[in-house]
């Protein structure tokens, strides 16, 4: 990094650090800080209990206070800035509500009609063969195989088990990923390993000169999700990758999948169906789940709705966008922990990261034939491209500047085109 660029970067970090310190000081002086700390410690446990009991009324006052307190914190940090823009910036530097509006408007216009076509007119995809009883021991062997296929350095990355899959890193030389195994749904662990493996590859390949420094990590939440969801979906759910791994899968779980063809496996893996739960959503509908959360938390911040309105508004949007009826708050507004933890402004990063992947794929194909590399099992070509373009920089560059240096201007229509082409072909639309 040139000296002037490095100095500018340092000044920006100092500015953000000062703003946060200033906000914390003001909140402490005004008595808000202690209240906020207590709220954060209480809200999560109340959310857990409310979810178990399916009782939103228990959590409602805590949720309202969490939004109010987070808004005050944002105003302390950036008094001349719209609070929600400050919240978005905390997770994705430079991201604004107006940019999110344009992004989600594009997806809404393209994906909602496409999803309804899949539901109403698409050929049926029977994924019953994937719902059989698959031995956990065999699933673990599959996970190990997948890590090798992805080119993950097993000397510096291990795989563990947990209730909810995640990735953590202590340095680029020590990265840990986890998965969860379901006996009657091996595809869940298959794709959680690929997803978390994408995160791991990013952290394992930051520049050596950045190791053990604040710059030796992913550039942002959206950039990290762009890697995990790129490997999980654009690579992992492609025809070429499914065809590559299916012989191993079929042999490993024989005779359970003996009657399933490569094409049938690919279609099963890519089955699209509107659902209630974000974490269970398919590639096509996932961003609609995020869009709903974005609209609701933005409305909470600008005051057009209150916490009391959230269950009704949540259910209304799920019916409008996904065509599903929400039977309970446990399966609806209480399903995510993010708001209980104060992570307001976090959700859009997931969708933006997904959209980044489509442009990576487009640019990558300018340099080499990605499908041919996948068919040959040469994911090393994909990894080298990512390392050269994205990974090695850590967080030396702002996320949008890093993305634009590789792909040019962010264009959500590229993502919509990708999904439209893929699912129209799968469902014969």
Choose among 194, 324, 199: nearest CA to 249. 194
**Using CA atoms, how far apart are residues 382 and 286, in angstroms rounded to an integer?**
24
In sequence order, the 6+-apart residues with CB closer than 8 A to the CB of 377 are 149, 244
Q: In order of start, what are the domains of the chain with their CATH numbers?
A: 1-80 (no CATH), 120-277+350-426 (1.10.1370.30)
Lowest-pLDDT choice from 107-121, 131-145, 147-161, 356-370: 107-121
- The rounded distance, in Å, linking the Cα atoms of 268 and 266 is 6
Q: pLDDT at position 14, please? A: 61
Q: How far is the C-alpha of 61 from the C-alpha of 428, rounded, in Å?
A: 48
Quote the pLDDT of residue 424.
94
Q: What is the pTM of this model?
A: 0.87
Which tokens go with 39? 């709220």
Nearest to 154 by CA among 206, 190, 201, 212: 201
Residue 19 pLDDT > 80, yes or no? no
Query: Which pLDDT does position 21 carry in this prediction?
Result: 60
Residue with tokens 């499914």: 242
Reported as a pLDDT band with limits 50, 70 and 90, residue 210 is confident
Q: What is the pLDDT of residues 130-178, one digit of tens each?
A: 999 999 999 999 999 999 999 999 999 999 998 778 899 888 999 999 9
Residues in the chain: 429
147 and 189 Cβ atoms separated by less than 8 Å: no
pLDDT at 216: 85
- Side-chain-facing half-sphere of 310: CA atoms under 13 Å: 27
Q: What is the pLDDT at residue 163?
A: 77
* Burial of 322 from C-beta contacts in 10 A (0-12 / 13-18 / 19+): buried
DSSP string, 326-351: ---STTTTTS-STGGGT-TT-THHHH
The CA distance from 333 to 405, in Å, is 38
Q: What pLDDT was estimated at residue 15?
A: 65
196 has catalytic annotation: yes
Q: Which of 120, 163, 183, 196 is catalytic?
A: 196
**What's the token pair of residue 183?**
């006996």
Segment 63-79, tens digit of pLDDT:
999 999 899 888 888 88
pLDDT confidence of residue 272: 94
**Cα angle value 155/160/165 (rounded, 5°):** 120
Provide the greatest CA pair distance for the chain: 69
DSSP 242-268: HHHHHHHHHHHTTTTTTT--HHHHHHH
Residue 29 has pLDDT above 50, yes or no: no
């Amino acid at each position: 990094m040139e000296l002037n660029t490095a100095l500018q970067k340092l000044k920006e970090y100092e500015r953000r650090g000062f703003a946060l310190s200033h906000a914390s000081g003001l909140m402490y002086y005004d008595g808000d800080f202690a209240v906020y700390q207590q709220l954060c410690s209480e809200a999560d446990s109340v959310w857990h209990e409310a979810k178990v009991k399916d009782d939103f009324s228990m959590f409602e006052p805590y949720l309202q206070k969490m939004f109010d307190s987070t808004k005050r914190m944002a105003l302390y940090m950036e008094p001349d800035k719209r609070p929600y823009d400050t919240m978005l910036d905390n997770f994705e530097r430079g991201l604004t509500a107006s940019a999110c509006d344009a992004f989600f408007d594009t997806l809404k216009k393209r994906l909602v009609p496409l999803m309804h076509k899949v539901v109403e007119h698409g050929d049926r995809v029977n994924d019953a063969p994937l719902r059989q009883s698959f031995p956990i021991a065999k699933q673990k062997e599959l996970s190990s195989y997948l890590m090798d296929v992805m080119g993950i350095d097993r000397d510096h990355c291990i795989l563990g088990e947990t209730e909810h899959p995640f990735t953590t890193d202590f340095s680029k030389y020590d990265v840990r990923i986890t998965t969860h195994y379901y006996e009657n749904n091996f595809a869940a662990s298959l794709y959680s390993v690929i997803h978390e493996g994408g995160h791991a590859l990013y952290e394992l390949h930051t520049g050596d000169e950045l190791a053990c420094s604040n710059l030796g990590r992913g550039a942002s939440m959206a950039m990290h999700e762009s890697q995990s969801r790129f490997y999980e979906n654009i690579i992992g759910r492609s025809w070429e990758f499914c065809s590559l791994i299916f012989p191993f899968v079929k042999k490993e779980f024989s005779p359970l999948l003996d009657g399933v063809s490569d094409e049938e496996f690919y279609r099963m893996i890519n089955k699209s169906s509107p659902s209630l739960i974000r974490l269970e959503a398919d590639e096509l509908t996932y961003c609609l789940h995020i869009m709903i959360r974005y609209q609701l938390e933005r409305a909470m911040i600008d005051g057009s709705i209150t916490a009391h309105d959230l269950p009704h508004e949540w259910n209304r949007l799920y019916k409008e966008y996904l065509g599903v009826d929400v039977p309970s708050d446990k399966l609806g507004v209480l399903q995510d922990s993010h708001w209980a933890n104060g992570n307001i402004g976090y959700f859009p990063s997931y969708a933006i990261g997904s959209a980044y992947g489509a442009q990576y794929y487009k640019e990558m194909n300018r340099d080499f034939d990605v499908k041919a590399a996948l068919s040959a099992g040469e994911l090393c070509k994909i990894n080298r491209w990512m390392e050269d373009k994205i990974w090695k920089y850590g967080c030396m560059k702002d996320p949008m500047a890093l993305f634009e240096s590789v792909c040019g201007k962010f264009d959500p229509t590229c993502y919509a085109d990708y999904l439209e082409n893929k699912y129209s072909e799968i469902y014969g639309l």
